[in-house]
């Protein structure tokens, strides 16, 4: 699972040639491919004071548009992916690098249960007291059930950094509620293993709203709780997984609940603090 990006000049729109060969780079197991597996990807530099808007408008003739950016790396695609993921254009630059973070492997799981906690208050749709729930999350921190953690071939009692992408979710507290939300979103942070079987009816993942990126009002205005089903993917360093999840979130606001996600840790596993 990989995408290939062709380097090109944003002034001439021609490929960058090195030793007679077009310059390309390959990125394995990234969020961009998860959301747009059949897209064409190109990367170029927008030169301050030199590159004009008219230069970029010419790309439309080739069916390309500027979708994401990270420092001096500008990512162009033949698919309008940014508007599907972010509700504000500037998020394409703020979180653009997350879309192209590589991983080592990829897999899928089904029927996961996810609990989303408000990072500020611990509110979680009534599954557990907020003052207890807030202790489960921290600065970009979430939890993964120890059994799922082991099933994904992780090192015992070792957390990992992650990127995740939401594709679809089915909101409802029971199997008869099949309302599906197709809102896409990305997130980042760390997942640490813990026995989550005694929380509510048992969970596979606990996600903090601090981990959710690219949509206005993520904190305090997001639905939290249980009862959503959907499709999720996880990518992690060493053995990356994509999980199809099923679980739900109780509405505290009009903002869609979170479920389907995709994780990809960009750095080595972190030592597990004793507090876990």
The pLDDT value given to residue 171: 63
For residue 32, pLDDT over 60 is answered with yes
The pLDDT value given to residue 7: 96
For residue 132, pLDDT over 50 is answered with yes
- pLDDT single digits (tens) 167-189: 877 665 555 555 677 889 898 88
Question: How far is it, in rounded angstroms, from Cα 126 to Cα 137?
Answer: 16
Is the model more confident about 58 or about 21? 21
| Rounded-to-10 torsion of CA 16, 18, 21, 23 | -50
- pLDDT single digits (tens) 187-202: 888 899 999 999 998 9
Mean pLDDT of the chain: 77
HSE-up (13 A, CA, CB side) for residue 26: 4
Residue with tokens 């972010």: 86
Tell me the percentage of the chain whose pLDDT exceeds 70.
72
CB 124 within 8 A of CB 118: yes
Is the model more confident about 241 or about 137? 137
CB 235 within 8 A of CB 29: yes
- pLDDT single digits (tens) 68-80: 999 889 999 999 9
> Which segment, 54-68, 154-168, 262-276, is predicted with the most confidence on average?
54-68
The pLDDT value given to residue 58: 87
For residue 128, pLDDT over 90 is answered with yes
Is the whole-model pTM more than 0.85?
A: no
Enter the DSSP assignment of 233. Answer: -
Question: How far is it, in rounded angstroms, from Cα 253 to Cα 79?
Answer: 31
- What is the average pLDDT across 88-104? 91
Q: Quick one: pLDDT band at residue 106, thresholds 50, 70, 90? A: low
For residue 264, pLDDT over 60 is answered with no
The pLDDT value given to residue 226: 39
The pLDDT value given to residue 177: 56
Buried b (16+ CB within 10 A) or exposed e, 48-79: eeebeeebbeebeeeebbbbbbbeebbbbbbb
Question: How far is it, in rounded angstroms, from Cα 127 to Cα 250?
Answer: 9
The pLDDT value given to residue 155: 82
For residue 228, pLDDT over 70 is answered with no
């Amino acid at each position: 699972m990989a995408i290939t990006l062709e380097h090109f000049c944003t002034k001439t729109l021609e490929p960058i040639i090195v030793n007679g060969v077009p310059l390309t780079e390959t990125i394995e197991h990234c969020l961009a491919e998860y959301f747009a597996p059949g897209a064409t990807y190109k990367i170029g530099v927008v030169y301050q004071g030199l590159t004009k808007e008219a230069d970029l408008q010419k790309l439309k003739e080739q069916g390309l548009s500027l979708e994401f950016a990270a420092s001096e790396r500008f990512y162009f695609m033949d698919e309008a992916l940014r508007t599907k993921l972010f509700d504000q254009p500037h998020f394409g630059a703020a979180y653009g690098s997350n879309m192209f973070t590589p991983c080592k492997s990829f897999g899928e799981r089904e029927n996961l249960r996810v609990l989303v906690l408000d990072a500020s208050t611990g509110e979680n749709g009534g599954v557990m007291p907020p003052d207890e729930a807030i202790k489960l999350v921290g600065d970009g921190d979430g939890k993964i059930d120890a059994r799922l953690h082991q099933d994904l071939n992780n090192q015992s009692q070792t957390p990992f950094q992650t990127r995740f992408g939401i594709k679809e979710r089915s909101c409802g507290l029971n199997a008869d509620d099949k309302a599906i939300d197709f809102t896409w979103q990305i997130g980042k942070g760390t997942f640490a293993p813990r026995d989550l079987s005694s929380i509510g009816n048992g969970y596979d993942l606990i996600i903090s709203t601090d981990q959710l990126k690219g949509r206005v009002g993520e904190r305090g205005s997001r639905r939290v709780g249980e009862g959503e089903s959907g499709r999720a993917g996880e990518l992690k360093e060493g053995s990356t997984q994509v999980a199809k999840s099923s679980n739900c979130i109780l509405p505290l606001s009009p903002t869609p609940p979170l479920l389907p996600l995709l994780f990809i840790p960009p750095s080595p596993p972190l030592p597990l603090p004793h507090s876990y």
